[in-house]
Every structure is written in C-alpha cells, then in structure tokens.
Amino acid sequence: MALEVSSVLLGQLRSAKATAWATARLTDKSIIWQGIADWPRPDIAFEDPKSGATLALEFKPPNQTKREYVTGLGQMITYLNDFEFAGLVLPKKSSDGFAIADHISSIVKRDLPNLPIVVFSYDKRVADLDVERKLTDRIGPIPKRSARKGRGTFWAYWRDLSSYDLFELLKIIDAKSPSSFDKDFQDFWKNFVVAKKARNWEGVIRRKRSKSKITPEQRNTFYSLRHCGLVDTDGRLTLSGLELLHVGKIYGPDSVAFMTLLTRRVLVEGRHLELILWTEKQSAELASKDKMNSDDYISALDAKLVDQGIIAPRLRSTGKQHFIRDEPKLWNKLGLMEKRTESQYFHPEEGYRFDWRKIISAVQEGDSFN
C-alpha cells in the first residue's frame, strides 16, 4: 500500500501535477530518496537532485486504532530533523469510525502552522489521496544531507559477500569490539580471503584474482551491512547484527534459520522488497521486444527505473553499465527467484519471476526472531 502511494505521489511530482500539495522546491526532477536512514526510517521518501529538497512520509494502513495514527504525527515531526519536508498519509477514519484524518489535520493547522509538513488522507483506495494540509516552505536552516551517504541506491548494495563470509565477518567484528570496520575487514581479508578460506554461497572456496584489491570490496561490504542494519555508522554490530550472529552460531551460516533471517534483513531493512516490487511493476510495462534476452531486459528495465524516478541517472564516471546487475544474483542465492532451468532465472518475453511464497515467508518468519 505504501508503494502504491509512493507511485502516485512520485508520478505527480515528475509530471508537474503536484501543485495541490507540493512546493516549488520539489520539481519534476524528483526521484525516490537514494539514502540510508538509521532512525527514524520513513516509509516513503523523495529527493530532488535539482533543488536538493527532501521529503519523508509516514504511511499508516487502515483499520488501526486512534493511538496508531496519533503516533504518526510524532513520527512525521521527527523526520524534520533529517529531511527538509515531512508528511503523513492516513485513512479518513480509525478502526472505531472516528474521523482521525480531520482530527490530525486540525491539530497541524492550529498548533503547527509553521512546520513544513503535508497531510494526506484516503478512504477506500490508497491511490485516491485527498490533501488535508498542503506543504509550506521551511523556515530556518535545512538539515544537512548526512544520511545520504551510501552507494547511490535506496536499497542495500550487495556484491560478493556470501552467507558463510558474512558469518565469519560478524564473528570478527564481535570479537574485536571496540575496533573499526576497516581493521576488522582487513583481518577478514587476510585470514579468509587471502588465506583462501573465504567461501561462496555454495560453500566452495572463493577464488580471488591475485591482483584483487581490498578497498572496493571493503567499501562495498560496509555499505551492504550498514544498509541492512547489521552494523552502525561506526561499523559496530547492531542488535540485528548480533541477532543474526547468534542464530549463525547455533544453526550455522548455511541453515534455514540463518538464511531466513538474513533474507528478511535484505528484504526489509535493505529495502530489496521495495526494489522487487518496483521491478515487477516496471517490468510488466516493458515491450515484449525488450524481454527477449537477459541483456536487453536489464538495459530496458534500468532505463525504465531511471525514467520513472525510482533510481537516479547513472553517473558517466561509474564503471557499471547498469544499476540492476548484482541484485538478481543475490535474489537467486536467497531463493527468491523462480528458475527457468537449473542455472537460469531469466524468462524470455517475461523477465524475472519472483517466488512470492518464499518472499512472504522470509519476511514473516524472519520477523518472528525479533
């Protein structure tokens, strides 16, 4: 439901049809916010690369108590610490029939008239949004965009790290604390990668080229763990990281329990679930000629995601041909793809098929560990 709201509002921004609720600082260049947030983490966020404006939105589903929606008011205000604008999307009525949207918007208009916040309401369909309170320009300094450090994507970038290597790295970080991520990774690189003990997803020794450099893999790995909520900004294990490590010590890095919890971290905290939903949505709109082979499909999908503002245009200086490159490989390793053959997961004239039973199961079962 949050994705549907995000799609509607992003479409309005990019087609210059958001004048009913947005300010001039959110232009038709707006895209999905490509950053990493620790806390609070918004359900929906946009950024405008042209003006530098950012907007964070809290989405509340229907049939909740009044308390849940009032909590959203506080969450929305908290977002203003890291984002220029903030907002709340909630149903017109709470579970007991109370006109909660009117109540919240009246509080904002009466008591918070100078805050740059927007309030949307919906009735039966979340795509049919009413503007209860329009955005106003921010008074005072705009927050620094420090939270926007990362790989330039809204989802967790994941390259070579397998479940086995992840487990070993988590053990090193835990044992060396307090230390630094750089030192911990150098320890992992020396004692596992260089020592030829690092393993791929199948448990086979990972062969690295003799001239492989530690710096790119170290940087990629840090952002993978950071974006999935396994380490904090200092590279120390979070509660989620400790939880995954604990499960690995009991059941092993190749166990169903470890893989399920890791999959949930990638899907939810790492926002790959959101990327998968966007991929499926945009893939359905591609022409059949763009889905005849894997290379053409990836190129067309990448262009579509950029055109719709879901990902930022790729910088010319980058060596990557496409943003979506390693992600399908990861989804396949986590068992989230329906294969066409034993070694292929691309389906001609269709694209990718996702195993939604496995995805939903990972999110629900992984959540039970919390």
**How far apart (Å, rounded) are the C-alpha atoms in residues 86 and 157?**
26
Range name among 97-111, 141-155, 207-221, 279-293 with the lowest pLDDT average: 141-155
Phi, psi dihedral angles at 237 (to 5 degrees): -65, 135
Place of tokens 């230390």: 179
Q: What percent of the chain has pLDDT over 70?
A: 93
The tokens describing 73, both together, are: 């008011």
Domain segments of the chain: what residues? 2-148, 156-370
Supply the pLDDT for residue 211.
56
**How far apart (Å, rounded) are the C-alpha atoms in residues 29 and 49?**
7
CATH no. for 2-148: 3.40.1350
Hey, is 70 helix, strand or coil? helix
The pLDDT tens digits of the residues spanning 79-125 come to 999 999 999 999 999 999 999 999 999 999 999 999 999 999 999 89
- What is the CA angle 275-203-354, rounded to 5? 25
The pLDDT tens digits of the residues spanning 76-90 come to 999 999 999 999 999
Of 244, 254, 197, whose CA–CA distance to 224 is shortest? 244
Biggest CA–CA distance in the chain, Å, is: 67
| pLDDT of residue 147 exceeding 50 | no
Tell me the mean pLDDT in the region 56-70. Answer: 97
Calculate the alpha carbon distances from 145 to 34, 46, 80, 148, 292 in Å. Answer: 11, 13, 12, 6, 41
pTM score: 0.88
Of 212, 236, 242, 240, whose CA–CA distance to 222 is shortest? 236
Supply the pLDDT for residue 198.
92
Q: What share of the chain is helix, strand, coil (3-state, %, to 5)?
A: 45, 10, 45
**How far apart (Å, rounded) are the C-alpha atoms in residues 77 and 279?**
31
